[in-house]
Amino acid sequence: MTNTPLTPPAAANDPAPAASASTPPPAGGGHGGAGTVITIVAAVVGGFALIGATGGAAVAATGQFVDDSASHGIALDAAHVTDLELRSGGAEVTVRFADVDDAQLVVDGHSRGDWTMARDGDTLRVASPRGVFSWLGQGWWFGDETRVTLTLPDELSGVLDADFRIDAGQLTVHGAFDELDLRLSAGSMRVEAEASSVEAEVNAGAADLTLDGVKDADLTMSAGTMTALFTGAQPDELDAEVSAGSMRITVPRGEYALQRDVSAGRFDSEVDTNGSSPHRITAKVSAGGLTIEAQR
Protein backbone atom coordinates (compact mmCIF):
# COMPACT_ATOMS: atom_id res chain seq x y z
CA MET A 1 0.00 0.00 0.00
CA THR A 2 1.27 3.44 -0.87
CA ASN A 3 0.55 5.94 1.87
CA THR A 4 0.93 9.70 1.83
CA PRO A 5 1.68 11.07 5.33
CA LEU A 6 -1.06 13.22 6.79
CA THR A 7 -0.37 16.49 8.55
CA PRO A 8 -3.13 16.88 11.15
CA PRO A 9 -5.00 20.17 11.41
CA ALA A 10 -3.76 22.81 13.84
CA ALA A 11 -5.34 22.64 17.26
CA ALA A 12 -8.01 25.20 17.96
CA ASN A 13 -6.46 26.05 21.39
CA ASP A 14 -2.88 26.51 22.62
CA PRO A 15 -1.04 23.19 22.35
CA ALA A 16 -0.63 22.62 26.10
CA PRO A 17 1.15 19.37 27.08
CA ALA A 18 -1.13 16.40 27.57
CA ALA A 19 -1.84 15.44 31.18
CA SER A 20 0.15 12.50 32.54
CA ALA A 21 -1.50 9.18 33.26
CA SER A 22 -1.34 9.92 37.03
CA THR A 23 -3.22 13.20 36.74
CA PRO A 24 -6.77 12.68 38.03
CA PRO A 25 -9.54 13.52 35.58
CA PRO A 26 -11.61 16.64 36.15
CA ALA A 27 -14.85 16.31 38.02
CA GLY A 28 -17.68 15.29 35.73
CA GLY A 29 -20.21 17.90 34.79
CA GLY A 30 -23.84 17.53 34.02
CA HIS A 31 -23.21 17.85 30.27
CA GLY A 32 -20.34 15.38 29.98
CA GLY A 33 -17.82 18.06 28.87
CA ALA A 34 -18.31 17.24 25.19
CA GLY A 35 -17.19 20.70 24.12
CA THR A 36 -14.06 20.85 26.30
CA VAL A 37 -12.51 17.40 26.26
CA ILE A 38 -10.12 16.56 23.44
CA THR A 39 -9.18 12.92 22.99
CA ILE A 40 -6.22 12.00 20.88
CA VAL A 41 -6.02 8.41 19.75
CA ALA A 42 -3.11 7.08 17.73
CA ALA A 43 -3.28 3.61 16.16
CA VAL A 44 -1.90 1.82 13.17
CA VAL A 45 -4.05 -1.04 11.86
CA GLY A 46 -3.40 -2.65 8.51
CA GLY A 47 -1.73 0.45 7.12
CA PHE A 48 -4.28 2.95 8.47
CA ALA A 49 -3.19 5.74 10.84
CA LEU A 50 -5.76 7.49 12.96
CA ILE A 51 -5.67 10.97 14.48
CA GLY A 52 -8.52 11.88 16.84
CA ALA A 53 -9.90 15.26 17.86
CA THR A 54 -13.05 16.72 19.36
CA GLY A 55 -16.04 14.61 18.39
CA GLY A 56 -13.88 11.56 17.65
CA ALA A 57 -12.65 12.84 14.28
CA ALA A 58 -10.22 10.41 12.67
CA VAL A 59 -9.08 10.04 9.09
CA ALA A 60 -6.92 7.66 7.11
CA ALA A 61 -3.31 8.70 6.81
CA THR A 62 -3.68 8.64 3.04
CA GLY A 63 -6.23 11.46 2.90
CA GLN A 64 -6.37 15.16 3.68
CA PHE A 65 -8.53 16.18 6.62
CA VAL A 66 -11.37 18.59 5.88
CA ASP A 67 -13.46 20.13 8.65
CA ASP A 68 -16.31 22.59 8.96
CA SER A 69 -19.10 23.14 11.46
CA ALA A 70 -21.38 20.54 9.89
CA SER A 71 -19.24 17.69 8.61
CA HIS A 72 -15.91 15.95 8.48
CA GLY A 73 -14.31 14.51 5.40
CA ILE A 74 -11.35 13.33 3.40
CA ALA A 75 -10.04 14.34 -0.02
CA LEU A 76 -7.78 11.89 -1.84
CA ASP A 77 -6.09 11.80 -5.25
CA ALA A 78 -7.96 9.20 -7.32
CA ALA A 79 -6.18 9.59 -10.65
CA HIS A 80 -5.93 6.28 -12.54
CA VAL A 81 -7.98 4.37 -9.95
CA THR A 82 -9.63 1.31 -11.52
CA ASP A 83 -11.28 -0.38 -8.52
CA LEU A 84 -13.55 0.89 -5.75
CA GLU A 85 -14.38 -1.04 -2.58
CA LEU A 86 -16.90 0.34 -0.09
CA ARG A 87 -17.90 -1.33 3.20
CA SER A 88 -20.60 0.22 5.37
CA GLY A 89 -22.60 -0.67 8.46
CA GLY A 90 -25.42 1.43 9.90
CA ALA A 91 -25.14 4.52 7.69
CA GLU A 92 -26.89 6.31 4.84
CA VAL A 93 -24.39 6.22 1.98
CA THR A 94 -24.62 8.10 -1.33
CA VAL A 95 -22.17 7.53 -4.18
CA ARG A 96 -22.06 9.92 -7.13
CA PHE A 97 -19.81 11.44 -9.80
CA ALA A 98 -19.14 15.16 -10.21
CA ASP A 99 -16.70 17.70 -11.64
CA VAL A 100 -14.13 17.39 -8.85
CA ASP A 101 -10.36 16.85 -8.89
CA ASP A 102 -10.14 14.31 -6.05
CA ALA A 103 -12.29 11.63 -4.48
CA GLN A 104 -14.18 13.32 -1.64
CA LEU A 105 -15.69 11.59 1.38
CA VAL A 106 -17.97 13.76 3.52
CA VAL A 107 -19.46 12.27 6.69
CA ASP A 108 -22.07 13.74 9.03
CA GLY A 109 -23.01 12.03 12.27
CA HIS A 110 -21.75 10.81 15.62
CA SER A 111 -19.13 8.53 14.04
CA ARG A 112 -18.21 10.91 11.25
CA GLY A 113 -14.50 10.99 12.04
CA ASP A 114 -14.04 7.22 12.27
CA TRP A 115 -14.60 6.55 8.57
CA THR A 116 -11.56 5.85 6.41
CA MET A 117 -10.65 6.32 2.77
CA ALA A 118 -7.34 5.02 1.49
CA ARG A 119 -5.69 4.11 -1.77
CA ASP A 120 -3.84 0.84 -2.36
CA GLY A 121 -2.32 1.00 -5.83
CA ASP A 122 -5.21 1.26 -8.30
CA THR A 123 -7.82 0.44 -5.63
CA LEU A 124 -9.74 3.03 -3.60
CA ARG A 125 -11.10 1.65 -0.32
CA VAL A 126 -13.77 3.32 1.81
CA ALA A 127 -14.93 1.80 5.10
CA SER A 128 -17.10 2.59 8.09
CA PRO A 129 -15.87 2.03 11.67
CA ARG A 130 -17.75 -1.22 11.82
CA GLY A 131 -16.33 -2.43 8.54
CA VAL A 132 -12.68 -1.78 9.39
CA PHE A 133 -12.48 -1.80 13.20
CA SER A 134 -15.06 -4.46 14.09
CA TRP A 135 -12.80 -5.61 16.94
CA LEU A 136 -13.64 -2.39 18.80
CA GLY A 137 -17.25 -3.51 19.18
CA GLN A 138 -20.59 -2.01 18.31
CA GLY A 139 -20.46 0.54 21.12
CA TRP A 140 -18.47 2.95 18.94
CA TRP A 141 -21.36 3.43 16.55
CA PHE A 142 -24.40 2.52 18.66
CA GLY A 143 -27.16 5.02 18.13
CA ASP A 144 -25.28 6.65 15.27
CA GLU A 145 -27.18 8.45 12.54
CA THR A 146 -24.44 8.81 9.98
CA ARG A 147 -24.83 10.25 6.49
CA VAL A 148 -22.01 9.64 4.05
CA THR A 149 -21.44 11.09 0.59
CA LEU A 150 -18.69 9.76 -1.65
CA THR A 151 -18.09 12.00 -4.67
CA LEU A 152 -15.88 10.64 -7.43
CA PRO A 153 -14.23 12.57 -10.28
CA ASP A 154 -16.08 12.44 -13.60
CA GLU A 155 -12.94 11.06 -15.23
CA LEU A 156 -13.57 7.75 -13.42
CA SER A 157 -17.10 7.43 -14.77
CA GLY A 158 -17.58 4.24 -16.77
CA VAL A 159 -14.17 2.72 -15.98
CA LEU A 160 -14.43 1.65 -12.32
CA ASP A 161 -15.04 -1.88 -11.09
CA ALA A 162 -17.09 -1.14 -7.95
CA ASP A 163 -17.78 -3.45 -5.02
CA PHE A 164 -20.37 -2.20 -2.50
CA ARG A 165 -21.10 -4.21 0.67
CA ILE A 166 -23.72 -2.90 3.07
CA ASP A 167 -24.09 -4.70 6.41
CA ALA A 168 -26.98 -2.44 7.43
CA GLY A 169 -28.29 0.96 6.48
CA GLN A 170 -28.95 2.54 3.10
CA LEU A 171 -27.06 2.82 -0.17
CA THR A 172 -27.84 5.18 -3.04
CA VAL A 173 -25.72 5.03 -6.18
CA HIS A 174 -25.82 7.24 -9.28
CA GLY A 175 -23.25 6.80 -12.03
CA ALA A 176 -21.55 4.67 -14.64
CA PHE A 177 -19.23 1.73 -13.96
CA ASP A 178 -17.58 -1.15 -15.77
CA GLU A 179 -18.35 -3.99 -13.35
CA LEU A 180 -20.74 -3.48 -10.44
CA ASP A 181 -20.97 -5.80 -7.41
CA LEU A 182 -23.71 -5.13 -4.83
CA ARG A 183 -24.21 -6.94 -1.50
CA LEU A 184 -26.96 -5.97 0.96
CA SER A 185 -27.20 -7.83 4.29
CA ALA A 186 -29.94 -5.61 5.74
CA GLY A 187 -31.45 -2.25 4.95
CA SER A 188 -32.17 -0.76 1.54
CA MET A 189 -30.41 -0.07 -1.72
CA ARG A 190 -31.29 2.19 -4.65
CA VAL A 191 -29.03 2.09 -7.68
CA GLU A 192 -29.31 3.97 -10.97
CA ALA A 193 -26.26 3.03 -12.98
CA GLU A 194 -24.69 2.04 -16.26
CA ALA A 195 -22.53 -1.07 -16.18
CA SER A 196 -21.38 -3.87 -18.44
CA SER A 197 -21.65 -6.51 -15.71
CA VAL A 198 -23.74 -6.58 -12.51
CA GLU A 199 -23.92 -8.91 -9.52
CA ALA A 200 -26.51 -8.09 -6.87
CA GLU A 201 -27.26 -10.10 -3.73
CA VAL A 202 -29.87 -9.22 -1.11
CA ASN A 203 -29.90 -11.27 2.10
CA ALA A 204 -32.57 -9.10 3.72
CA GLY A 205 -34.07 -5.73 2.95
CA ALA A 206 -35.12 -4.01 -0.26
CA ALA A 207 -33.26 -3.25 -3.48
CA ASP A 208 -34.43 -1.01 -6.32
CA LEU A 209 -32.13 -1.26 -9.35
CA THR A 210 -32.25 0.63 -12.65
CA LEU A 211 -29.46 -0.63 -14.88
CA ASP A 212 -28.48 0.43 -18.38
CA GLY A 213 -26.28 -1.30 -20.95
CA VAL A 214 -25.78 -4.49 -18.92
CA LYS A 215 -24.46 -7.52 -20.81
CA ASP A 216 -24.22 -9.98 -17.92
CA ALA A 217 -26.27 -9.93 -14.71
CA ASP A 218 -26.50 -12.23 -11.70
CA LEU A 219 -29.28 -11.45 -9.20
CA THR A 220 -29.79 -13.34 -5.92
CA MET A 221 -32.51 -12.86 -3.32
CA SER A 222 -32.52 -14.61 0.07
CA ALA A 223 -35.21 -12.51 1.77
CA GLY A 224 -36.89 -9.19 1.20
CA THR A 225 -37.71 -7.60 -2.14
CA MET A 226 -35.82 -6.71 -5.29
CA THR A 227 -36.94 -4.85 -8.39
CA ALA A 228 -34.57 -4.63 -11.34
CA LEU A 229 -35.20 -2.63 -14.52
CA PHE A 230 -32.81 -3.25 -17.41
CA THR A 231 -32.70 -0.62 -20.15
CA GLY A 232 -30.80 -0.31 -23.40
CA ALA A 233 -29.84 -3.42 -25.36
CA GLN A 234 -30.93 -6.91 -24.30
CA PRO A 235 -28.56 -8.54 -21.82
CA ASP A 236 -26.64 -11.54 -23.14
CA GLU A 237 -26.85 -13.47 -19.87
CA LEU A 238 -29.25 -12.99 -16.96
CA ASP A 239 -29.28 -15.34 -13.96
CA ALA A 240 -31.93 -14.84 -11.27
CA GLU A 241 -32.25 -16.91 -8.10
CA VAL A 242 -34.83 -16.54 -5.33
CA SER A 243 -34.73 -18.64 -2.15
CA ALA A 244 -37.22 -16.43 -0.28
CA GLY A 245 -38.82 -13.06 -0.79
CA SER A 246 -39.94 -11.42 -4.00
CA MET A 247 -38.05 -10.43 -7.15
CA ARG A 248 -39.40 -8.60 -10.19
CA ILE A 249 -37.24 -8.12 -13.27
CA THR A 250 -38.08 -6.00 -16.32
CA VAL A 251 -35.97 -6.57 -19.43
CA PRO A 252 -35.86 -4.93 -22.88
CA ARG A 253 -38.28 -6.32 -25.43
CA GLY A 254 -37.02 -9.18 -27.58
CA GLU A 255 -36.68 -12.94 -27.60
CA TYR A 256 -34.87 -14.85 -24.87
CA ALA A 257 -33.77 -18.44 -24.38
CA LEU A 258 -35.37 -19.21 -21.02
CA GLN A 259 -34.37 -21.96 -18.59
CA ARG A 260 -36.23 -22.43 -15.33
CA ASP A 261 -35.79 -24.49 -12.17
CA VAL A 262 -38.74 -24.07 -9.80
CA SER A 263 -38.87 -26.42 -6.79
CA ALA A 264 -41.28 -24.30 -4.75
CA GLY A 265 -42.69 -20.83 -4.80
CA ARG A 266 -43.96 -18.97 -7.84
CA PHE A 267 -42.44 -18.10 -11.21
CA ASP A 268 -44.11 -15.91 -13.83
CA SER A 269 -42.61 -15.19 -17.22
CA GLU A 270 -43.98 -12.56 -19.56
CA VAL A 271 -41.16 -12.46 -22.13
CA ASP A 272 -41.02 -13.83 -25.66
CA THR A 273 -39.02 -17.05 -25.71
CA ASN A 274 -36.90 -18.67 -28.39
CA GLY A 275 -34.55 -21.52 -27.54
CA SER A 276 -32.01 -20.39 -30.15
CA SER A 277 -31.83 -16.78 -28.95
CA PRO A 278 -28.33 -15.57 -27.97
CA HIS A 279 -29.93 -13.74 -25.04
CA ARG A 280 -30.29 -16.23 -22.18
CA ILE A 281 -32.29 -16.07 -18.95
CA THR A 282 -31.84 -18.67 -16.21
CA ALA A 283 -34.41 -18.58 -13.40
CA LYS A 284 -34.23 -20.60 -10.18
CA VAL A 285 -36.89 -20.43 -7.45
CA SER A 286 -36.81 -22.53 -4.28
CA ALA A 287 -39.27 -20.35 -2.33
CA GLY A 288 -40.83 -16.94 -2.70
CA GLY A 289 -41.72 -15.42 -6.04
CA LEU A 290 -39.99 -14.36 -9.26
CA THR A 291 -41.54 -12.39 -12.11
CA ILE A 292 -39.75 -11.58 -15.36
CA GLU A 293 -41.47 -9.24 -17.77
CA ALA A 294 -40.64 -7.26 -20.90
CA GLN A 295 -40.79 -3.50 -21.15
CA ARG A 296 -44.01 -2.22 -22.60
Q: Return the CATH number at 127.
A: 2.160.20
Nearest Cα to Cα of residue 3 among 127, 120, 82, 126: 120
Q: How confident is the model at residue 234 (pLDDT cuts 50, 70, 90)?
A: very high
Is residue 259's pLDDT more than 70?
Answer: yes
* 7 has a pLDDT exceeding 60: no
Does residue 37 lie in a domain region? no
Q: How many domains does the chain have?
A: 1
Task: Please name the amino acid found at residue 115.
Answer: W
More confident residue, 25 or 194: 194
**Contact between residue 97 and residue 151 where contact means Cβ atoms under 8 Å apart:** yes
pLDDT for 213: 98
> What is the predicted pLDDT for the residue at 77?
97
The residue-averaged pLDDT of 49-67 equals: 38
Under the banding of pLDDT at 50, 70 and 90, the label for residue 212 is very high
In a domain, 47, yes or no: no
Selected residue with higher pLDDT from 228 and 51: 228
**pLDDT surpassing 90 at residue 112:** no
Mean pLDDT for 1-24 is 42
pLDDT average, residue stretch 78-107: 96
Q: Is residue 46 part of a domain?
A: no
Per-residue pLDDT at 156: 98
Mean pLDDT of all residues belonging to the chain: 79
- Nearest residue to 199 via CA among 179, 215, 213: 179
Q: What is the mean pLDDT of residues 18-45?
A: 38
Look at residue 23 and tell me if it is in a domain.
Answer: no
pLDDT higher than threshold 70 for residue 287: yes
Question: CA dist 210 to 82, 105, 198, 228, Å?
Answer: 23, 24, 11, 6
Mean pLDDT of 173-192: 98
Q: Which domain holds residue 85?
A: 70-294
CA 11, chain centre distance (Å): 32
Please report whether residue 44 resides in a domain.
no
Q: Name the more confident of 62 and 152.
A: 152
d(CA 171, CA 128): 13
Q: Is the residue at 214 inside a domain?
A: yes
Please determine, for residue 111, whether its predicted confidence score (pLDDT) is greater than 90: no
| pTM listed for this prediction | 0.74
Helix (H) or strand (E) holding 172: strand 161-176
Average pLDDT over residues 110-136: 75
